Amino acid sequence: MSRTQTPLTDSLLAYVRDVTLREPEALRAQRESTEDHPRAGLQVSPEQGQFLHLLARLTGARMALEIGVFLGYSSSWIALGLAPGGKLIACDVSEEYTSIARKTWREAGVEGAIELRLAPALDSMDALLAAGQAGAFDFVFIDADKGNYIRYYERALRLVRPGGLIAADNVLFHGTVDDRANRDADTEAIRAFNRHLQGDRRVALSMATMGDGIALAVKL
């Protein structure tokens, strides 16, 4: 342990990937083939994907929920970490992006474990609650529009079981959250979300500062 954080240079990140990453070939191919995608920055890094895989395994997840699918990279990692017979419900609004996600899932061998809900995620979450799914989920990953993060989180907290885990990406928001001069709407939304979590005594809380920051909340 250390009282300070080791700065992660490009060369040190390359070293971390070299000694820890176990990226399936199908996901490596997908990641490399979409490096030039105009919105490639929406996709988690490989070490974040592997971390999500680990979290799914640690929670023994049989039921998982992803808010924000994009091209299917993170959902593939999560699905690969599910317990046998497990299921991931993946929520997104883009037919364009999720058509690529379906191909990613198929090539990663997890298509059968993922149910896509192509609708606004808040509507999909409300539908799950209306169907009696409160407390049915072991793991929830939030990585979608920032303005709705608190709304996603509050619904996720109802959907996840006690002891279940909610993970939310981009909580450092490209390093803008501590810049008081930055009043960008998404930055402000992430600041509000972080404060919301910090004050929420219904969960145990931590933040993994890899990538763009992942908030981790375990329901008490």
Residue 156 has pLDDT above 90, yes or no: yes
Q: What is the pLDDT of residues 97-120, one digit of tens each?
A: 999 999 999 999 999 999 999 999
Predicted local confidence at residue 5, as pLDDT: 87
Q: Which amino acid, residue 166? A: I
Q: Has this prediction a pTM greater than 0.85?
A: yes
Lowest mean pLDDT among 37-46, 56-65, 73-82, 210-219: 37-46
- pLDDT band at 1, cuts 50/70/90? confident
For 13, list phi and psi in degrees, rounded to 5. Answer: -65, -40
Asked if residue 124 is part of any domain, the answer here is yes
Asked if residue 2 is part of any domain, the answer here is no
For 181, list phi and psi in degrees, rounded to 5. Answer: -80, -15
Asked if residue 1 is part of any domain, the answer here is no
- pLDDT band at 176, cuts 50/70/90? very high
How many domains are there within the chain?
A: 1
Predicted local confidence at residue 101, as pLDDT: 97
Residues with Cβ within 8 Å of residue 171, at least 6 apart in sequence: 177, 190, 193, 194, 207, 212, 213, 214, 215
Tell me what the mean pLDDT of segment 11-24 comes to: 96
Q: What is the pLDDT of residues 24-42, one digit of tens each?
A: 999 999 999 988 898 988 8
Q: What is the pLDDT of residues 68-84, one digit of tens each?
A: 999 999 999 999 999 99
Distance separating alpha carbons of residues 58 and 81, to the nearest angstrom = 9
CATH value at residue 52: 3.40.50.150
Asked if residue 62 is part of any domain, the answer here is yes
Asked if residue 43 is part of any domain, the answer here is yes
Beta bridge partners of 115: 89
Predicted local confidence at residue 41, as pLDDT: 86
Asked if residue 77 is part of any domain, the answer here is yes
Instruction: Supply the range of the domain harboring residue 119.
Output: 10-219
Predicted local confidence at residue 40, as pLDDT: 82
Residues in the chain: 220
The answer to whether 143 and 66 are in contact (CB under 8 A) is yes
Asked if residue 117 is part of any domain, the answer here is yes
Within a 13 Å sphere around the CA of 167, how many CA atoms are in the beta-carbon half?
28
Give buried/exposed letters for 59-81 (b at 16+ CB in 10 A, else e): bebbbbbbbbbbbbbbbbbbbbb
Distance separating alpha carbons of residues 202 and 26, to the nearest angstrom = 38
Collapsing DSSP to helix, strand or coil, 178 comes out as coil
Predicted local confidence at residue 160, as pLDDT: 98
Asked if residue 5 is part of any domain, the answer here is no
Smallest Cα–Cα separation from 107: which of 33, 208, 12, 183? 33
Report residue 42 as tokens.
């929406």
Predicted local confidence at residue 2, as pLDDT: 80
